[in-house]
């Protein structure tokens, strides 16, 4: 039983707790081993309850068996007294002989102090310096390392990229299962952020429903730079904060917080209030502002197959998430094409280098000297823009469409194209980037 194997077992224990259960506490797992035998395992079940180390020790019927045993714990044991006693003190009292720590605790109340307390008591401590806890608890580590909340963006939009059909109109996009997932996510965070347009249109309570929760409801945070909510008293309650640049509004109610309009300043203030994580739910302008300033750590997109045609634009999904670029590594070969000069003659296919989506290669076959690829787009809406003898770019290479079915299209590569591009490496099952013809996009839009 080596240390890494035992630490993975401790990680598995930590994963038994849902993030919403431990809330602002990290998810932690512990394993106790003696003479090559696992005596007990434990984890932090819920905010305010026993920590993983104590939970594991409580599983050992005879406390005398703990003497000189080895404990594996994913995060440095705490050395301070909070809602429960200090884990380091409990480990010392139990006579544990060795402690293997996966990662140090970034919380300044604990950082280094738990390890030092154990060593001062004569316990051998080994720190693996892995990122096991950071992977289990990204918001906890981000908060204590930066002082800012961990920012999760959530957007629901139609297949053609709209979050609602018209300004001021609330449009239901997701189904019941997505609603439950959203409330599970809400239960993990300290605050939920929306813009003033969303607040005025939906009057959202931004509370956790559809799931159980034992800790307080998250704060309702509204970004209202102009002060549009001054006369909207339904937002003036103890769990709501409204960030505004309107001095009159800020002076009129304690819910309105005067700030300089920068998202960084708002997050800084929320961090000082102890908010470890936030969920940004809209609207589109607010989501785009977080994306544009790179003030986010996670993005969840609920994209339906519904097509609105027109409406309020959602967000442009980052290229790294909608293409294969995120899979590229040093040494990956790519296709290159020189930019066209302003004096060059227009001819051939109309492609711009943007990526409209991805598709999976379902078949590769030969017709005479032509290699044919059959591709199924991930989003079937793209098939409305693909026609026989039309064009499509695959991994940046413009190709002619030979035939189409309801769900797939087939393109052909002449020997020159195959040998001079990276398409020669494409096999059945591979994902490829797709860009449809620009004229086809306009025609699809006109057809509605």
Catalytic residues: 53
Nearest in space to 219 (alpha carbons), one of 284, 283, 266, 155: 266
Nearest-10 crossing angle of helices 113-120, 87-94? 20
Q: Nearest 5 degrees, angle CA 380-CA 315-CA 229?
A: 135
Close Cβ partners of 188 (under 8 Å, ≥ 6 residues apart): 19, 20, 23, 139, 277, 279
Tell me if 45 sits within 8 A of 63, measured CB to CB.
no
Give the span between the Cα atoms of 435 and 397, in whole angstroms: 9
Q: Biggest alpha carbon distance in the chain?
A: 86
DSSP-assigned letters across all residues of 112-142: THHHHHHHHTT-EEEE---SHHHHH-HHHHH
Tell me the backbone φ, ψ of residue 307, rounded to 5 degrees.
Answer: -115, 120
Give the span between the Cα atoms of 283 and 279, in whole angstroms: 12
Tell me if 434 sits within 8 A of 375, measured CB to CB.
yes
Give the span between the Cα atoms of 140 and 26, in whole angstroms: 6
Tell me the backbone φ, ψ of residue 93, rounded to 5 degrees.
Answer: -65, -30
Tokens of 57: 């020790």
CB atoms within 10 A of CB 236: 14
Among the residues of 189-339, which ranges form H helices? 196-202, 247-252, 263-272, 284-292, 319-322
Tell me if 245 sits within 8 A of 226, measured CB to CB.
yes
């Amino acid at each position: 039983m080596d240390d890494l194997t035992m630490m993975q077992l401790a990680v598995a224990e930590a994963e038994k707790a849902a993030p919403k259960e431990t809330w602002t506490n990290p998810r932690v797992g512990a394993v106790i081993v003696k003479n090559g035998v696992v005596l007990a395992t434990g984890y932090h079940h819920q905010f305010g309850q026993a920590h993983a180390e104590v939970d594991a020790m409580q599983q050992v019927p005879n406390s005398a068996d703990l003497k000189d045993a080895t404990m594996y714990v994913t995060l440095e044991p705490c050395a301070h007294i909070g809602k429960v006693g200090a884990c380091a003190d409990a480990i010392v009292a139990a006579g544990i002989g060795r402690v293997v720590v996966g990662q140090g605790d970034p919380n300044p109340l604990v950082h280094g102090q738990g390890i030092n307390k154990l060593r001062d008591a004569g316990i051998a401590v080994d720190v693996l310096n892995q990122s096991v806890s950071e992977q289990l608890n990204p918001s906890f580590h981000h908060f204590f390392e930066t002082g800012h909340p961990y920012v999760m963006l959530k957007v629901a939009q139609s297949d053609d990229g709209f979050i609602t059909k018209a300004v001021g109109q609330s449009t239901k996009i997701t189904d019941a299962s997505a609603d439950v997932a959203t409330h599970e996510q809400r239960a993990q965070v300290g605050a939920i952020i929306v813009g003033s347009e969303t607040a005025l249109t939906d009057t959202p309570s931004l509370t956790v429903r559809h799931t159980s929760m034992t800790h307080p409801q998250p704060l309702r945070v509204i970004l209202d730079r102009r002060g549009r909510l001054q006369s909207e008293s339904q937002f003036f309650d103890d769990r709501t904060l409204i960030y505004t640049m309107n001095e009159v509004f800020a002076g009129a109610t304690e819910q309105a917080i005067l700030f300089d309009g920068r998202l960084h300043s708002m997050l800084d203030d929320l961090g000082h209030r102890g908010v470890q994580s936030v969920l940004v739910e809209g609207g589109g302008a607010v989501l785009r502002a977080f994306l544009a300033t790179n003030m986010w750590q996670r993005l969840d997109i609920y994209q339906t197959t519904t097509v609105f045609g027109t409406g309020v634009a959602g967000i442009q999904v980052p290229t790294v998430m909608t293409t294969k670029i995120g899979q590229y590594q040093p040494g990956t070969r790519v296709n290159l094409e020189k930019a066209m000069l302003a004096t060059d003659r227009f001819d051939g296919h109309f492609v711009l280098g943007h990526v409209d989506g991805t598709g999976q290669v379902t078949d590769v076959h030969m017709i005479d000297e032509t290699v044919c690829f059959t591709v199924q787009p991930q989003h079937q809406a793209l098939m409305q823009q693909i026609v026989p003898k039309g064009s499509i770019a695959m991994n940046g290479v413009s190709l002619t469409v030979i035939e189409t079915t309801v769900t797939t299209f087939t393109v052909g590569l002449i020997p020159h194209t195959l040998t001079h591009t990276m398409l020669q490496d494409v096999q059945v099952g591979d994902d490829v980037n797709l860009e449809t013809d620009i004229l086809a996009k306009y025609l699809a839009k006109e057809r509605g």
